[in-house]
Structure 1
Amino acid sequence: MTFARLVVTAGTLFGVVAAGDALAHHGWGSYDTEKAFTITAPVEHLEWANPHAHLMLKHDGATWEATLAPLSRMQARGLSEDMLKPGVTVSVFGYPSTRTPNEMRAERIVVDGKTVELR
């Protein structure tokens, strides 16, 4: 195998692996878009980190984890970490996970009367 062919092969393999990771991350197929619902509850805990923030809410005796948008998108739309402090009541609209109980993909959130579209 020539050096040029080796470089092309290695580059192709890298591209395939990188594309697979990107598709896995951005694939929302594990959420049931036919069962949209809203949870209104106080914030228990917030993980404000990329690639997506995560919000923990206590609802009907269970703790739900809501996967939010990337930080830059939420900040650009007026949602800050300070707005999601523990104890603040929020309404989160989204879709339940088909794989993980009590997990949801959040589409929008209402905080202090302000609606923020996350997708």
Structure 2
Amino acid sequence: MQRRSMLAALPALAGLPALAHHGWSSFDQERPIYLSGRAAKVAWRNPHAELQLELPENLALPADLAKRSLPRQTAAVDGTALLAKARVPTRRDRRWEVELAPLTRLQAWGVEEVRPGAEIAVLGFTFAGEQGEPVLRAEYLFVGDKVYGLRSSPA
């Protein structure tokens, strides 16, 4: 009897919005995007930490971005090339959803929990052609003078 009531509830559940978890393959890894701004909302939880980033009106690449030193990580990531190819988004959204890394990886890097109001920057990837929602999957996180690689663990 319990199975029958569960099956009867399925059509009602089908109308609810689904939460998606995106793998790296969903993102255009040939076009790194740079964002900086103020953390508006933060969800420090698994499957990965997330935040809403409020961008300034005139977002621009920092003059020293291509020359910044990046930490080594266990994944083969050509961070220098990513910094050299980095662009600001062409879309004009002032608020972006940023997907960071799982909490265990953030802990391995020693990343302190980002709090609402914190000024941060991220370099990462969005969907091809910047289609869909303004979502960025972070490859590097810049907090103050610290930089964290988020694809894998520290090397």
When the two structures are superposed, what TM-score results if normalisation uses the length of structure 2?
Answer: 0.56
User: When you count helix as a share of all residues, which structure comes out higher?
Assistant: 1
* 1:91 partnered with 2:91: no
Structural mapping, 1:18-57, within 5 Å: 27-57=23-53
**Greater gyration radius:** 1
Shift of 1:26: 6.9
SS in 2 for 1:29: helix
Cα–Cα, structure 1 residues 25 and 101, in superposed 2: closer, same or farther, change >3 Å?
closer
| Match for residue 79 of structure 1 among 111, 119, 133 | 111
Distance 2:31 2:102 in 1: 23
Structure 2 unaligned residues grouped into runs of 5+: 1-19, 58-92
Please identify runs of 4+ aligned residues in structure 1 that moved more than 6 A.
none
Of Structure 1 and Structure 2, the greater strand share is in: 1
Work out the CA distance in 2 between the residues paired with 1:27 and 1:91: 21
SS in 1 for 2:25: coil
* Paired positions, count: 94
Query: Could you say which structure has the greater relative contact order, defined with CA pairs below 8 angstroms and 6 or more residues apart?
Result: 2
Measure how far apart 1:71 and its partner are: 0.2
Give the Cα–Cα distance (whole angstroms) in 2 for the partners of residues 97 and 49 of structure 1.
23
- Taking the aligned partners of 2:134 and 2:21, their CA distance within structure 1 comes to 19
Amino acid at match of 1:92: V
8 Å Cα contact 1:35-1:95 kept in structure 2: yes
Structure 1: unaligned runs, 5 residues or longer: 1-23
> SS of the residue aligned with 2:26?
coil
CA distance in 2, matches of 1:57, 1:107: 15
TM-score normalised to structure 1 length: 0.71
Q: Which amino acid letter does the alignment assign opposite residue 53 of structure 1?
A: A
Percent identity of the aligned residues?
Answer: 39
- SS of aligned partner of 1:42: strand
